[in-house]
Amino acid sequence: MVNYLVGRGHTVFMVSWKNPTAADRGLGMDDYLRLGVRASVEAVSAIVPRRKIHGVGYCIGGTLLSIAAAAYAGEGDAHLASVTLLAAQTDFSEPGELSVFISPSQLDMLEAAMSRTGVLKSEQMGAAFSMLRSRDLLWTPAVNTYIRGKRDEPNDLMAWNADGTRMPCRMHAEYLRQLYLNNALAKGEFLAEGRRVDLSDIRLPMFVVGTETDHVAPWQSVYKARGLTRSPDYTFLLTSGGHNAGIVSGPSHPRRRHRVRTWLNDTETLDAPAWLESTAPVAGSWWPVWEHWLEEHSAAERAEPPAMGSAKDGYSPIIDAPGEYVRQK
């Protein structure tokens, strides 16, 4: 995706998750906003001054971006030019199959386990998601491997899926209780850095993507973001595929289709089933649709790509790409 966007003339900065250890057990949602989103926005603004940023967030990264965008709006900050959410929930009232793991007693048990290790292990998270699609992710591979003697050929997406990450105890507990259990963000009750976050403060252009067979962030749940924000230029796109493959689809994909609709200061309200029925599918990947939208919402004059890691900006290179983090366990 980065290669595609850069090839189309966009300047792209990517932020990766830190893989926390037990020493990071005390990091919470506020730390992820301050050390993640806010610090990244400050860095990009220093390297490319006087340019607004098209913020893009995937899954929980999109949830954090929506919180940050609302916080920025409440402060009168104008760093962001637009917000794109990829398979990201802001309303957790209908989280789909994942709800089987979300109850006060389940969270009490999970927090007790995390308190011993300081983190939620990647194996635990991966096992939970595999159980949601047990036929595809557990039983079929087991039957193919141990009964039929047939192993799947590895591919890039399988390698990506296998590269799990941990989550710090405090942050994960806050995330599950405040967002999933209490749905505080949708209710306007979520506190970020001590201040209430109101998603209706977001009045930026928005592009929201859901995927048809998403078992992590069901598209019907992702669709609800429009009712929570006040974007005057709002696009919702539904693509075929699941939580991972639906997003990582490539600019030309023979098996992909998508449906898309834009509202411009429109008071029309459609629930998810009505939207699906009234929006015809179009063959092809959603990437070119989004790239065209980004181009339309960018300045006509293109800036030269900046030199990365300029000491003048206070962001000297730490180590050559891909860096040491991506090799850590």
Q: What was the pLDDT predicted at 284?
A: 95
Residue 139 has pLDDT above 70, yes or no: no
Q: What was the pLDDT predicted at 18?
A: 82
Give the CA angle between residues 188, 190, 196 to the nearest 5°: 75
CB neighbour list of residue 51: distance below 8 Å, 6 or more residues apart: 45, 299, 303
Q: What was the pLDDT predicted at 127?
A: 62
Q: What was the pLDDT predicted at 309?
A: 66
Percent of the chain with pLDDT over 70: 94
| Side-chain-facing half-sphere of 185: CA atoms under 13 Å | 33
If you average pLDDT over residues 104-118, what whole number do you get?
A: 90
Each residue's pLDDT tens digit, 233-259: 999 999 999 999 999 988 988 889 999
Each residue's pLDDT tens digit, 255-304: 899 999 999 987 788 999 999 999 999 999 999 999 999 999 998 888 78
Determine the 3-state secondary structure of 76 from DSSP: coil
**3-state secondary structure string, 179-243?**
HHHCCHHHHCCCEECCEECCHHHCCCCEEEEEECCCCCCCHHHHCCHHHHCCCCEEEEEEECCCC
Q: What was the pLDDT predicted at 134?
A: 53
Residue 129: which pLDDT band, with cuts at 50, 70 and 90? Answer: low
Q: Active-site residues: which are they? A: 59
224 close to 102: Cβ distance less than 8 angstroms: no
What fold characterizes domain 2-18+37-94+200-327? Rossmann fold (3.40.50)
CA distance 42 to 80: 11
CA distance 124 to 132: 13
If you average pLDDT over residues 152-178, what whole number do you get?
A: 84
Each residue's pLDDT tens digit, 171-202: 999 999 999 999 999 999 999 999 999 999 99
CA distance 235 to 205: 8
| Side-chain-facing half-sphere of 161: CA atoms under 13 Å | 15
* Tokens (6 digits) for 284: 């092809």
Q: What was the pLDDT predicted at 310?
A: 67
pTM of the shown model: 0.91
The chain-wide mean pLDDT, for the chain, equals: 89
Residue 65 has pLDDT above 60, yes or no: yes
Q: What was the pLDDT predicted at 97?
A: 79
Each residue's pLDDT tens digit, 3-19: 999 999 999 999 888 88
The alpha carbon dihedral of 292, 82, 266, 276 has a sign of: positive
